[in-house]
């Protein structure tokens, strides 16, 4: 069995960042007092271990492309598991009608490559599967049942185009009538709709066509919230021993609306929704078991070094913030996930050769890697697919390299 610490380190190999990096090394950050953010993060985990046994449903919010969020989700699952809380893990990423494919993977009947193909990951979700596979491996290795939560994209698109009232209940794949949106959630969704320009007019939301389009957009979001809430509620009622934990986008739980509101409408409780505590990048601890120790960012087809962990193999090789990684062992790379995959698969004792661009000049960097934390799982060697924007996905996945 792969130790949980190794799985966590495997995930935390790619810290995502916000702004694109320049070709010059970033200036050294000012000194930051990390004691309070670290204390708050520890306290959240202590509270989670204490409260977990009293909850029916726990929602762990995420920014889909945030490696830090997924690492925190894995840490939270391990906290609950360590506290002896029986778990079931729900996934927004997989539509409920594709549960059978998830069951086959959880039972070990299929490998990761087959699972991703069977659920249509690239078409349905689109985000880099390397961000999620450590969580799925963790669940499978510990016998934690996996639950597909979302509505089928075809149904979501139909509601988006026609409105919920135009879709007969018998054609909603068993999804019931969603509860109304709260005012704050409605306003947040309206701003998101405006940010995409709306449809049927100027995008200001003032014309009749735009108002109708906005309502259809809101209907599609309510449908997804309701679908996930019903699946979570049904799973808890089917097995009251297990706390049902859901990995969902933070937009579905902020303001205590979205999925939490639909759960309340279904009479499900007690439940809780959590987000990762904000942590200044300089305070994030270096991942245990990391091989490279460089925090990377994917931007516009390039891979940039964001930070280098002190004492890491990357630091010993003089890899620097602001470096652009052009190639690994002579193979051109364009996404951080490609670098991570090659680092993870690099045989022990063979130096890793990076082609790096620094201040407009290319140079070769030879990295001596420590032993890998664990052998990769079967099916984990396929190159992750880039995000395609489907189902609310946003391109530009961030990653952290081991």
Taking CA 142 as the corner, what is the angle to CA 137 and CA 143, rounded to the nearest 5 degrees?
Answer: 100
| CA–CA distances in Å: residue 308 to residues 193, 198, 301, 312 | 38, 42, 21, 7
The reply to whether 207 and 351 lie within a common domain is no
Same domain? For 270 and 296 the reply is: no
| Shared-domain flag, residues 84 and 197 | yes
Task: Give the separation between CA 79 and CA 74, rounded to whole angstroms.
Answer: 9
Q: Residue 374 above 70 pLDDT?
A: no
Q: Give a yes or no: residue 282 inside a domain.
A: no
> Based on the domain organization, do 217 and 363 belong to the same domain?
no
Q: Which region among 183-197, 340-354, 366-380 has the lowest average model confidence (pLDDT)?
A: 366-380
Q: Please provide the DSSP assignment of 231-277 as one string.
A: HHHHHHHH-TTSEEEEEEEGGGTGGG-SHHHHHHHTT--SEEEE-PP
Q: For position 21, what pLDDT does the model report?
A: 35
What is the mean pLDDT of the segment spanning 208-226? 95
- Residue 347 maps to a domain: yes
Looking at the structure, do residues 263 and 370 belong to the same domain, yes or no? no
Number of domains in the chain: 2
Identify whether residues 71 and 159 lie together within a single domain: yes
Residues 199 and 254 in one domain: yes
Q: Does residue 81 lie within any of the structural domains? A: yes
pLDDT at 204: 55
pLDDT of residue 227: 98
Q: How many CA atoms lie within 13 A of 75 on its CB side?
A: 22
Is the pLDDT at 143 greater than 50? The verdict is: yes
Cβ contacts of 153-158, under 8 Å, gap ≥ 24: 153/95, 153/123, 153/124, 153/390, 153/391, 155/223, 156/220, 156/223, 156/224, 156/391, 157/220
- 298-339 pLDDT, tens digit per residue, is 877 889 888 787 778 888 999 998 899 999 999 999 988 889
Please check whether residue 150 lies inside any domain of the structure: yes
Q: Is the pTM of this model over 0.75?
A: no
> What is the pairing mode between strands 87-95 and 146-150?
parallel
| Residue 25 is assigned to a structural domain of this protein | no
The verdict on 237 and 177 lying in the same domain is yes
Give residue 85's domain range: 35-274
Q: Assess whether 158 and 112 both reside in one domain.
A: yes
């Amino acid at each position: 069995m792969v130790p949980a610490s190794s799985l966590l380190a495997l995930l935390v190999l790619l810290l995502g960042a916000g702004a694109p990096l320049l070709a010059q090394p970033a200036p050294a950050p000012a000194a930051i007092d990390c004691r309070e953010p670290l204390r708050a993060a520890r306290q959240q985990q202590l509270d989670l271990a204490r409260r977990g046994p009293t909850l029916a449903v726990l929602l762990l919010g995420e920014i889909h492309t945030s490696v830090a969020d997924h690492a925190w989700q894995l840490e939270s699952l391990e906290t609950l598991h360590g506290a002896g809380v029986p778990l079931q893990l729900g996934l927004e990423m997989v539509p409920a009608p594709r549960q059978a494919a998830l069951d086959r993977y959880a039972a070990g009947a299929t490998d990761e490559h087959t699972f991703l193909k069977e659920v249509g990951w690239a078409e349905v979700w689109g985000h880099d599967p390397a961000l999620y596979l450590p969580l799925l491996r963790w669940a499978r290795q510990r016998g934690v049942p996996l639950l597909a939560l979302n509505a089928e994209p075809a149904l979501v698109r139909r509601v988006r185009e026609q409105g919920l009232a135009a879709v007969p209940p018998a054609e909603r794949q068993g999804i019931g009538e969603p509860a109304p949106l709260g005012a704050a959630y409605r306003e947040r969704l309206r701003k998101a709709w405006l940010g995409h320009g709306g449809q049927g007019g100027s995008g200001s939301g003032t014309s009749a066509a735009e108002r109708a389009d906005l309502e259809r957009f809101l209907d599609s979001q309510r449908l997804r919230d309701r679908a996930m809430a019903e699946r979570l509620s049904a799973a808890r009622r089917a097995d009251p021993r297990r706390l049902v934990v859901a990995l969902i986008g933070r937009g579905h739980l902020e303001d205590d609306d979205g999925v939490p509101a639909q759960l309340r409408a279904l009479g499900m409780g007690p439940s809780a929704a959590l987000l990762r505590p904000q942590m200044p990048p300089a305070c994030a601890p270096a991942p245990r078991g990391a091989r490279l120790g460089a925090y990377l960012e994917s931007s516009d087809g390039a891979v940039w070094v964001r930070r280098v962990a002190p004492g890491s193999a990357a630091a010993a090789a003089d890899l620097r913030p602001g470096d652009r990684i052009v190639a690994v062992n002579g193979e051109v790379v364009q996404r951080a996930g490609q670098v991570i995959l090659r680092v993870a698969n690099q045989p022990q004792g063979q130096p890793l050769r990076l082609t790096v661009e620094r201040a407009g000049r290319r140079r070769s960097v030879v990295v001596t890697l420590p032993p890998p934390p664990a052998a990769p799982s079967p099916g984990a060697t396929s190159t992750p697919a880039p995000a395609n924007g489907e189902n609310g996905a946003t391109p530009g996945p961030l990653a952290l390299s081991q």
